[in-house]
Amino acid sequence: MRKFLLIFVVVLYLLHSVGIELYSQSTGDAVVLLSGKVLDLNGKPLSVKIEFTGDNGKKITTTSNSSDGMYQQVLTPGIKYSVSFKDYLEVAGDGMVDIPSVKKYTEMSRTFTLRKIEEGLELSHFKAFNHNDSHLTGHYANEFQRIKEFMSSNINASIVIIISGRDSWFATKSVKQQYKDNKNRTKTRTIKIQPKEQMMQLLEARRDAVLDYVKTLKIREKSISIEFDETMGSKPVIPKGKKKQPVQTVEHPNVTVKVSKIKKM
């Protein structure tokens, strides 16, 4: 009986693939059939809901087979898809599938290896700021898009965004400050701002930048919390005679995203 079931599944798969190819030929519209397996860390098949979100804004959902982990999905040529999984996270790869701009029916293969999401699981870490700066830069948009798709597929999950200052350093600085004396006259005095205070100002500015950007993505804000890593980096030592060269900084990821809570539903 088991052998018959396996043969039946294979036949259905082949018939489906042939049907898609015939449809593509009859309509003149090129399509790409992506297929493969979804496996756990031990190589065992998983039945998981898979969501493909194209850079054209369209979402497509399919489910892998519980018997062998097989899935297949028709996708549009020339579209880049982010891939997310309900209750699971891909352990390798960038979570993206780039479909080439082919002119005829094409088949592609991709195997996904997943691990069950759990509280404390790291989803992503990346550099979103230059040292001593609070303006978003680099590939932060792709990273936050992946987080958005993860939260869309896992509505029971909350995340914590940890903003770090390990890439930055400060020295005590003196600044001019205006104040009112006891006769309400405006005067100026010099105050010193300690490195720790400057670090908190930087982290708070980075937090505001992240939250402002998250709002544009319409991510569930109530499911997001922010934490600070106040560890300060150290300014690179410039060898004598090299003062005119630009400062070479050590690259540190200054944004880390983790699963904070998973609600039972």
Task: Assess contact for 255 and 164: CB atoms under 8 A.
Answer: yes
Q: Is the pLDDT of residue 239 over 70?
A: no
Tokens of residue 178, six digits: 């205006």
Higher pLDDT, residue 10 or 61: 61
How far does CA 171 lie from the centroid of its chain? 33
Stretch among 4-8, 189-193, 255-259 having the lowest mean pLDDT: 4-8
CA neighbor of 177 nearest in space, from 168, 166, 167, 190: 190
**Does residue 25 carry a pLDDT above 50?**
no
What is the predicted pLDDT for the residue at 241? 63
* Cα–Cα distance measured from residue 88 to residue 148, given in angstroms and rounded to the nearest whole number: 15
| Residue in 256, 261, 232, 237 with CA at minimum distance from that of residue 247 | 237
pLDDT value of residue 223: 94
Give the chain's length. Answer: 265
Residue 189 confidence (pLDDT): 84
Residue linked to tokens 């993860």: 150
Domain limits of the chain?
Answer: 26-116, 122-170+200-262
- Whether residue 41 is predicted with pLDDT greater than 90 in this model: the reply is yes
Q: How far apart are CA 145 and CA 147, in angstroms?
A: 5
Name the pLDDT band for 249 (thresholds 50, 70, 90).
Answer: low
Contacts of 219 (CB under 8 A, 6+ apart): 144, 147, 148, 151
- Contact predicate 234/169, CB 8 Å: yes
What's the token pair of residue 98?
């780039």
pLDDT tens-digit series, residues 174-228:
888 887 888 888 888 888 899 999 999 999 999 999 999 999 998 888 999 999 9
pLDDT of residue 18 exceeding 70: no
In the structure, what pLDDT confidence band is assigned to residue 243 with cuts at 50, 70 and 90?
Answer: low
Q: Which residue has the tokens 């369209």?
A: 58
Please say whether the dihedral angle defined by the alpha carbons of residues 72, 74, 80 and 85, taken in this order, is positive or negative.
Answer: negative
Q: Residues 71, 63: contact at Cβ < 8 Å?
A: yes
Contacts of 139 (CB under 8 A, 6+ apart): 126
Distance CA 114, CA 66 (A): 14
The answer to whether the predicted template modeling score (pTM) of the entire model surpasses 0.85 is no
pLDDT-based confidence at 44, cuts 50/70/90? very high
Q: Confirm or reject CATH 3.30.1330.60 for domain 122-170+200-262, answering yes or no.
A: yes
pLDDT of residue 23: 43
Average pLDDT, integer, range 237-257: 70
On average, the pLDDT of the chain sits at 86
pLDDT at 88: 93
26-116 CATH fold? Immunoglobulin-like (2.60.40)
Rounded to a whole number of angstroms, the distance between the first and last alpha carbons of the chain is 36
Provide the angle, in degrees to the nearest 10, between the axes of the packed helices 140-153 and 195-217.
Answer: 60
Q: What is the pLDDT of residues 83-141, one digit of tens each?
A: 999 999 998 877 889 999 999 999 999 999 999 999 999 999 999 999 999 999 998 99
Percentage helix, strand, coil for the chain under 3-state DSSP, each rounded to 5: 25, 35, 40
110: CB partners within 8 A, 6+ apart: 34, 35, 36, 97
Pairing of β 80-85 and β 49-54: antiparallel
Q: What pLDDT is stored for residue 24 in this prediction?
A: 45
